[in-house]
Chain A
């Protein structure tokens, strides 16, 4: 398996534009996580899916952020409208749905909002 695949790797956009980040989890994994990493706030869990259903979205900063998982092999994180403070590295991770299993991370998407 190629691991967790995220696209794009880098995204530069202007304030106010819509941004869509994409993630393909490892085949067979049924848990998916979206994290955001910044120097100031560290690694924050934004949302967690299990079997394509959002289980916990308490980390989503505000209504500008939304995430979907239409099927087991694809998820998106959308920011609309984007703001400079959204600049961060966004990671997707997947795992089997068990508290004893580790999660595997993608390479991340570095988002810069100017």
Chain B
């Protein structure tokens, strides 16, 4: 079965510093991977996805993610964090057989001024 794991419940970073939110995946077949962000009392918003091609994927709000097949990882990154980036971040994978969208447990990002 397809799955993603987010090993960190929370990530703390100072404003202006680079940030990384980790995600590893386990799939059969080609991985179709996604990152979403959830602000308080809101639904999830799509940030970016990896389908095929370049391992570095660029998305909304200056975020990017690096696909690494050998490490089965898809970490979310941003060169310079903003306080407004503080939110809950979810990694997700689209099941190869059924197309259903399966989410990780989420990582809370806290950016301090």
Interface residues of A (CB under 8 A from B): 4, 31, 33, 35, 42-43, 45, 48, 50, 55-56, 91, 93, 95, 97-100, 102-108
Distance between Cα atoms of A105 and B46 in the complex (Å): 9
Q: A100 touches which one: B43, B46, B94, B100 (CB < 8 A)?
A: B94
Chain B's closest residue to A41 (CB) is: B105
Q: A99 touches which one: B44, B96, B103 (CB < 8 A)?
A: B96
Q: Verify if B45 is at the interface (C-beta below 8 Å from A).
A: yes
Q: Verify if B64 is at the interface (C-beta below 8 Å from A).
A: no
Interface residues of B (CB under 8 A from A): 32, 34, 36, 42-46, 49, 51, 90, 94-96, 98-103, 105-106
- Residue of B43, B51, B94 with highest tally of chain A CB at under 10 A: B43
Chain A residues, Cβ within 8 Å of B36: 105
Chain B's closest residue to A108 (CB) is: B43
Is B100 touching A56 in the complex (CB atoms < 8 A)?
Answer: yes
Interface secondary structure of A, over-half rule: strand
Distance between Cα atoms of A104 and B77 in the complex (Å): 22
- What's the minimum C-beta distance from A52 to chain B, rounded to whole angstroms? 15
Distance between Cα atoms of A37 and B6 in the complex (Å): 16
Distance between Cα atoms of A104 and B42 in the complex (Å): 12
- What's the minimum C-beta distance from A84 to chain B, rounded to whole angstroms? 21
- What's the minimum C-beta distance from A5 to chain B, rounded to whole angstroms? 11
Is A103 touching B103 in the complex (CB atoms < 8 A)?
Answer: no
- Known contacts: A33-B100, A100-B51, A102-B34. The answer to whether A107 contacts B90 by CB under 8 A is no
Is A102 touching B99 in the complex (CB atoms < 8 A)?
Answer: no
Distance between Cα atoms of A108 and B103 in the complex (Å): 16
Distance between Cα atoms of A106 and B32 in the complex (Å): 22
